[in-house]
């Protein structure tokens, strides 16, 4: 099938690779412009662009689809189908209606739950036990189109958003491949979404980072998992901000919310429900991430101190 692919980050790469491996004619890739990255602020290409160029696929990077000649380019290319995976821009209706088979989006949630920009992270933040990927026929709304296929995966107690991201990116490629196969065979049965079951997964901001130790231990643990590896949960100790990368639940403890109840071999902090979390991995300002045990060798933390 003649396909144009629209995607940008690492999450999109397995889908583009699967299109190539499945033998489809990927006529062009649309991705976000190169952005400054790293300490040197050097322009870096999106991961999808790198893969496309390796395979000699033409790449287009309009800053805004609506304010570019994207529609004219697409008319000239004349794809049968557009596949959209974490592209990062809203498609105008003129583009959605252009291909013979419209536009199909691969979305990282079990729709209609978690519509929006950060479905993976909010799924973990909210303590969900399962997630998945849904292929969807795109319409003018935000992730509101008819559902085509879906696949589930379990979320473990200590899985981070990054862990889930990696699994769902692979699962997304599988769902996409099966969706296109059924589309070609005329075997898809679109299902309308029940809007009453939907919720919104907005973009993450650094305002979410500070841990509220008065919350139950499970919520604190979910925050750490859901915000890893960006923007990361944070806590204050002795006036210093520390990023908390990894925690574990450790049952009932004696201590006030935020108080260090064990220090040395383990760093355990009490939460608001009388349960504790062990801080396993952390990162001090200007330092690399390290185990809490290694950190405490050079920066002893007294039992009874409090995080805020």
**pLDDT recorded at residue 160:** 98
**pLDDT recorded at residue 154:** 98
* In the chain, % of residues over pLDDT 90: 95
**pLDDT recorded at residue 41:** 83
pLDDT tens-digit series, residues 235-248: 999 999 999 999 99
CA 112 to chain centre: 17
Q: What is the mean pLDDT of residues 89-108?
A: 97
Strand partners, 260: 269
pLDDT tens-digit series, residues 146-174: 999 999 999 999 999 999 999 999 999 99
Mean residue pLDDT of the chain comes to 97
**pLDDT recorded at residue 40:** 79
**pLDDT recorded at residue 256:** 97
Q: What is the mean pLDDT of residues 185-209?
A: 97
Segments of 11-57 assigned E as strands: 25-30, 35-37, 42-44
Q: What is the mean pLDDT of residues 100-127?
A: 98
Task: Flag whether pLDDT at 291 surpasses 80.
Answer: yes
pLDDT tens-digit series, residues 3-41: 999 999 999 999 999 999 999 999 999 999 999 987 778
The total number of residues written for the chain in this structure: 308
DSSP for 120-182 reads HHHHHHTT-SEEEEEEEE--SSSS-SPEEEEEEEE--TT--HHHHHHHHHHHHHHHHHHHHHH
**pLDDT recorded at residue 28:** 98
Split at pLDDT 50, 70, 90, the class of 76 is very high
**pLDDT recorded at residue 108:** 98
Q: Which residues, 6 or more positions from 242, have their beta carbon under 8 angstroms from its beta carbon?
A: 234, 235, 236, 282, 283, 284, 285
Task: Flag whether pLDDT at 298 surpasses 80.
Answer: yes
**pLDDT recorded at residue 37:** 85
Torsion of CA 292, 293, 299, 304, to 10 degrees: 80
Domains and CATH numbers, the chain: 2-197 (3.40.50.170), 206-298 (3.10.25.10)
Split at pLDDT 50, 70, 90, the class of 52 is very high
Split at pLDDT 50, 70, 90, the class of 92 is very high
**pLDDT recorded at residue 212:** 98
**pLDDT recorded at residue 38:** 79
């Amino acid at each position: 099938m003649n396909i144009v692919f629209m995607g940008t980050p690492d999450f999109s790469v397995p889908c583009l690779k699967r299109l190539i491996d499945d033998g489809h004619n990927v006529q062009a890739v649309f991705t976000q412009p190169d952005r400054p990255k790293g300490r040197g602020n050097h322009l870096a290409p999106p991961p999808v662009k790198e893969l496309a160029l390796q395979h000699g696929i033409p790449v287009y990077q309009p800053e805004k689809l609506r304010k570019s000649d994207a529609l004219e380019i697409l008319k000239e290319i004349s794809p049968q189908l557009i596949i959209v995976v974490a592209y990062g821009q809203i498609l105008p209706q003129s583009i959605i209606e252009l291909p013979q088979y419209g536009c199909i989006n691969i979305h990282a949630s079990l729709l209609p739950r978690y519509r929006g920009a950060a479905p993976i992270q909010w799924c973990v933040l909210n303590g969900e036990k399962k997630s998945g990927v849904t292929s969807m026929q795109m319409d003018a709304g935000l992730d509101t189109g008819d559902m085509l296929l879906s696949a589930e995966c379990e979320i473990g107690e200590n899985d981070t958003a990054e862990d889930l991201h990696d699994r769902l990116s692979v699962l997304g490629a599988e769902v996409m491949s099966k969706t296109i196969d059924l589309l070609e065979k005329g075997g898809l049965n679109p299902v309308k979404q029940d809007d009453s079951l939907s919720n919104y997964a907005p973009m993450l901001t650094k305002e979410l980072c500070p841990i509220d130790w008065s919350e139950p231990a499970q919520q604190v643990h979910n925050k750490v998992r859901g915000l890893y590896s960006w923007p990361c949960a944070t806590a204050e100790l002795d006036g210093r901000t520390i990023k908390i990368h990894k925690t574990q639940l450790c049952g009932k403890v004696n201590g006030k919310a935020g108080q260090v109840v064990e220090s040395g071999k383990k760093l355990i902090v009490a939460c608001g429900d009388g349960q504790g979390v062990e801080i396993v991995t952390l990162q001090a300002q200007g330092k690399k991430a390290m185990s809490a045990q290694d950190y405490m060798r050079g920066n002893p933390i007294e039992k009874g101190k409090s995080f805020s």
